[in-house]
Amino acid sequence: MSFVQVRDLWQAYGDRSILERVNVDVAEGEFISIVGASGCGKSTFLRMLLAEERPTRGSIRIDGGEPALEPNRERGVVFQKYSVFPHLTVRDNLIAGQSFGTRWGALFGGAKAAARANADDMLAKIGLNHVADQYPASLSGGMQQRLAIAQALIAKPRVLLLDEPFGALDPGTRVQMHEFLQALRDETGMTVFMVTHDLEEGFKLGDRVLVFDKPRWDPHDPGAYGATITYDFDARDGGIPFQHLNPPTTKDITDAL
């Protein structure tokens, strides 16, 4: 059985179908980029992987079990979006990130000293060591985003969910964060699901690029049908989707979105 297995997944809110018949298999360690039009259900899909929402129909298995409700390292999923605690300093946020999944949700003694050293190491890597004792609200948007990503990554989760993580970053910082994420992923072998609206970023970082789109469309009732995975591109080796006899151009993909 594959590491992440999604079978005939549906999600509807009231009589609005958001997602329908989503099927996908992901091997452990794969980096999955997800693209698709705004509002087509990409964040909803991540929330279901996080067990924050139950599907209307269908199933998700992560390492053979249901998605874990509490983040934990074994079958844990960390979502970059909600991770930063406003009442903790930047350093303490990274220390807290390492206590997820511990028995008491807190670290003591030697473990705490090690967590502090790890936090400082991470802060240096992401260029936030000079603001270690500040609170998140005092940081710029880009710095807050880097902190959120670092906090999610520091727990070395087996599954990492990133929802448009680099959106607010300037191009230089974005490239730095790409390199940082790629190095961490090589080191940990974690499985990543990343939603992005930047196709180039999706192909650069992802092993696969999944396109979410509505295969059925009722012009009189645009909310009648949900989206599903309409393309599953192989993005390894420079993004040539070898399973396609006629490799789609960027324009084809853009048109499909």
Ligand X SMILES: Nc1ncnc2c1ncn2[C@@H]1O[C@H](COP(=O)(O)OP(=O)(O)O)[C@@H](O)[C@H]1O
Query: DSSP code of 163?
Result: E
Check: CB of residue 212 under 8 Å from CB of residue 35. Answer: yes
Closest distance of CB 222 from Mg ion, Å = 18
Q: Which is nearer to ligand X, 3 or 212 (CB)?
A: 212
- 167's contact among Mg ion, ligand X, none, with CB below 5 to 8 A by partner kind, is none
Are 205 and 216 in contact by the 8 Å Cβ rule? The answer is no
The residue ranges that bind Mg ion (CB under 5 A) are: 43
Shortest approach of Mg ion to residue 42 CB, angstroms? 5
159 binds, among Mg ion, ligand X, none (CB under 5 to 8 A by kind): none
Considering the complex, state which of residue 22 and residue 184 has its C-beta at the smaller distance from ligand X: 22
Cα gap 71→147, rounded to integer Å: 18
- Nearer to ligand X by C-beta: 54 or 244? 54
Q: Where are the beta strands (DSSP E) in the chain?
A: 4-13, 16-26, 31-36, 57-62, 77-79, 159-163, 191-195, 208-213, 228-234
| 39 contact choice in Mg ion, ligand X, none (CB below 5 to 8 Å, kind-dependent) | ligand X
Contact residues for ligand X (CB under 6 A)? 13, 18, 36, 38-44
Binding site partner of 136, from ligand X, Mg ion, none, Cβ cut-off 5-8 A by kind? none
Paired strand residues for 36: 212
Of the pair 43, 56, the CB lying nearest Mg ion is at 43
Tokens of residue 189, six digits: 């072998």
Q: Which does 38 bind (CB under 5 to 8 A by kind): Mg ion, ligand X, none?
A: ligand X
To ligand X, the closest distance from the beta carbon of 35 in angstroms equals 10
CB 79 within 8 A of CB 46: yes
136-90-102 Cα angle (round to 5): 120
Phi-psi region of 194 (alpha: psi -120 to 50; beta: other; left: phi over 0): beta
CB of 90 to Mg ion, least distance (A): 26
The minimum distance between CB 177 and ligand X, in angstroms, equals 20
Q: Residue 95: name the closest of 163, 147, 166 by CA.
A: 147
Cβ distance to Mg ion smaller for residue 44 or 93: 44
